[in-house]
Amino acid sequence: MRKLVVGNWKMHGGLDANAALLGALREAGGQGCPSAVCVPFPYLQQAKSLLEGSAIAWGAQDLSEHAVGAYTGEVSGAMLNDFGCRYAIVGHSERRALFGDTDERVAAKVDAALAVKLQPILCVGETLDEREGGVTEAVVERQLKAVFERGGAAALAACVIAYEPVWAIGTGKTATPAQAQAVHAFIRGRLAAWCGADVAARTTILYGGSVKPQNAAELFGQADIDGGLIGGASLVAGDFLAIVAAAAS
């Protein structure tokens, strides 16, 4: 099954608010579609205690490209494994724009995640300037190719891909279903060319960028959109659950 909905809490949360949110998700169950939440590092233990045994998986929003060593402030994939993570988001546009994650470092992080059997959620997407300059496909191809060139077809094939146009993240501006579908189809085409038709057919490609209960069903109705990476709306239990339900139907 290709469907998946993942919440990206970003730097939001607190013990009490998290307990209420995670409790509501747990109570609602899986809603017929695999789902997960990627929480800030300090709350991984809380996510593990409250979600273990439920239909909802959890993960981190980043990881170090290094396995161990003198890297103050970094968190390794093995540490994420200690907290039962299934996923690690890699290459989110906020990490790329604000924290120096180059294509090469993102590719190294994908390798670091795979080395400890975490599934990377590899984010790709263009800025508004890039879209208006007509280079959306070239940008997305470059971001994917960095992973392919470092880790080969196996690395790319092991990722969930999240297409997140930067201009749609947290802005309330969603790509139209047709705009998103066009890029998703392009990504699936690149996967077919580099990794083979089977991999392309089974890879989960999520859309992210101001997904809300109101627009989720139409986006997820597109042939190559397999679910969503959800920022703001994942902080409200009812909204996140409605989006998961939209992916299931």
Minimum gap (Å) between residue 17 Cβ and ligand PEP: 17
Is 147 one of the binding residues for ligand PEP (CB under 6 A)? no
CA dihedral 170, 230, 126, 117 (to 10 degrees): 140
- Choosing from 65, 92, 126, 184, the catalytic residue is 92
User: Binding-site residue total for ligand PEP (CB under 6 A)?
Assistant: 14
Q: Looking at beta carbons only, is 32 or 170 nearer to ligand PEP?
A: 170
Q: Is 79 exposed, middle or buried (0-12, 13-18, 19+ CB in 10 A)?
A: middle
Which residue, 105, 113, 117, is CA-closest to 76?
Answer: 113
Asked about 184 being catalytic, the answer comes back as no
62, 65, 103, 164: which one binds ligand PEP (CB under 6 A)? 164
Is 35 one of the binding residues for ligand PEP (CB under 6 A)? no
CA-CA distance, 234 to 220, in Å (whole number)?
16
Lay out the site mask for ligand PEP across 208-247 (x = CB under 6 A, - = otherwise).
xxxx-----------------xxxxx--------------
**Strands of 126-176, DSSP E:** 160-163
State the DSSP code for 223.
T
Asked about 12 being catalytic, the answer comes back as no
Question: For the chain, how big is the Rg over CA atoms in Å?
Answer: 17
Interface residues with ligand PEP (CB under 6 A) are 8, 10, 164, 169-170, 208-211, 229-233
